[in-house]
Amino acid sequence: MTSSTGATAPLTALPLQGRPGARLSGSCDLDTRQALAGALGVVAGIPGPVVHLDLSAVVFLDPDAVAALVRASVDFTGQGRRLLLHDPPYSLRKVVEMFPDECAALEVGA
């Protein structure tokens, strides 16, 4: 999503309270791709069998950002762990709807 100045909402990541994981906020697109990669790298280093990624404050995920989440989920699965997404934005749900096979690795929690 862009503001009236055309600037993309910056992507930020903060640790979750009470469970292993992080909360992303902002926009995930071309302008924030490196920030997303960095955040997912940090999330991958969080120990535990299940790591939570709260997306409730993410306003937009472009298809490349969704692909990055898929790759992260596949990596977690390869380690015998789970990356559990919470409250995904409409844009993620729409990409999953359009590409269900490619997005099969994503796991959304209640």
Burial class (CB in 10 A: 0-12, 13-18, 19+), 49: exposed
Q: Are 87 and 54 in contact (CB under 8 A)?
A: yes
pLDDT string in tens for the chain (110-residue length): 333 344 567 899 999 999 999 999 999 999 999 999 999 999 999 999 999 999 999 999 999 999 999 999 999 999 999 999 999 999 999 999 999 999 999 999 86
Report the C-alpha gap between 38 and 108 in whole angstroms. 21
Q: Per residue, what are the HEC states of 21-34?
A: EEEEEEEECHHHHH
